[in-house]
Amino acid sequence: MKQSKPTLLGLSAAAAAVLTLAAACSGGNSNTAGDGLATGSPVATPTEAPPAAEIDQVNLEFVPAQVTVRVGDVVLIRNSETAIHNAVVNGTNVTGNMMKGSAIPWKAPAPGEYTVACDYHPLMKATITVTE
């Protein structure tokens, strides 16, 4: 049976399909609860302001262990080590399981002190102080 050669148009359509699929699988922050607690992987856009503070999970510690932000500010919670972590803020898991390289934003909803912990490593603790 004789096989036909692929046409340039056919190859272009295949390439476009692959690029579309890759873009669709790249993720996004489509899992935000609407209460200031982001639970997906963030995708930065050029109009987003940088986070007011960052807390990293490294050497089985939250670094820094204390940050202060204002209502509405974003705290970026990172995991820079190979251990799986999460960030539980005042009893609510706001990040899900975080693999190395994950960075999840948390938006400060109201004034107060927020305790941050890791379910997997109970000695990991941090405090986010939110002011007016």
Please write the tens of the pLDDT for every residue from 22-51.
Answer: 333 333 333 334 344 444 444 444 446 799
Parent domain of 19: 7-132
Give a yes or no: residue 1 inside a domain. Answer: no
The pLDDT assigned to 11 comes to 44
Provide the residue type at 27 as one letter: G
Asked whether residue 36 is domain-assigned, the answer is: yes
**In this structure, are strands 92-93 and 88-89 parallel, antiparallel, or unpaired?**
antiparallel
Half-sphere exposure of 45 (CA within 13 A, CB side): 4
Q: Domain for residue 2, yes or no? A: no
Q: Which single residue is written with the structure tokens 């305790």? A: 115
**How does residue 131 score in pLDDT terms, banded at 50, 70 and 90?**
very high
> Is residue 40 a contact partner of residue 31, using CB atoms and an 8 Å limit?
yes
Omega before 64 within 30 of 0, i.e. cis: yes
Whether residue 25 lies inside any domain: the answer is: yes
Which DSSP category does 51 fall into? P
Give the pLDDT score at 49. 74
pLDDT recorded at residue 12: 47
* Residues 6 or more apart whose Cβ sits within 8 Å of residue 40: 27, 28, 29, 30, 31, 32, 96, 104
Residue 85 neighbours by CB distance under 10 Å: 24
Contact 123, 62 (CB under 8 A): no
Tens of pLDDT, residues 47-95: 467 999 999 999 999 999 999 999 999 999 999 999 999 999 999 999 9
CATH of the domain at 48: 2.60.40.420
